[in-house]
Amino acid sequence: MSTPRDSAPGARRLALFCLVAGAVVALDQASKAAARAALVPGEPVTLIPGVMDLSLVYNTGAAFSLGEGAGLVFVLVAAAITLLGLWVAWRRTEVPLPLALVLGAVAGGGIGNAIDRVALGAVTDFFKTTFVDFAIFNVADIFVTCGVLVALVLFWRWDSARERAAAGE
């Protein structure tokens, strides 16, 4: 049976997870609101010459416009990832805190895009690279993509350390 003292580390980690996720959602939604207020679809604005433009588009798919029209599926995936992250932060206290916090950033990005899908029927994208032909993206996409990559590295390091410890090294 768990006591309040046993759940304190999990509660702190859960609060930090939620704080990170909430900060990502706030940053994402503020940037999208600013883009919708300042930009006109089809009329890009140079942000960094030769590197990046701001170009407002509404994406009903996922990355690279794949999964066109499957918005509900993406909302459900974001919800599942968020629930998994909440569980890891709260109950799996052996998972390193940085990994749990990166999962919070990934969840925040997923929630940010899910808000757009539910409220607007499409995700607001506005960063367009000009030095290479690439998909137009947003702040949430940055946190999801970079967060998943960082999470994989952190998980690999943590798992390797556990294996070394188990082997008695």
Residues with a catalytic annotation lie at 125, 141
Contacts 24+ apart (CB under 8 A), 51-55: 51/129, 51/130, 51/131, 52/127, 52/128, 52/129, 52/130, 52/131, 53/128, 53/130, 54/126, 54/127, 54/128, 55/126, 55/128, 55/136
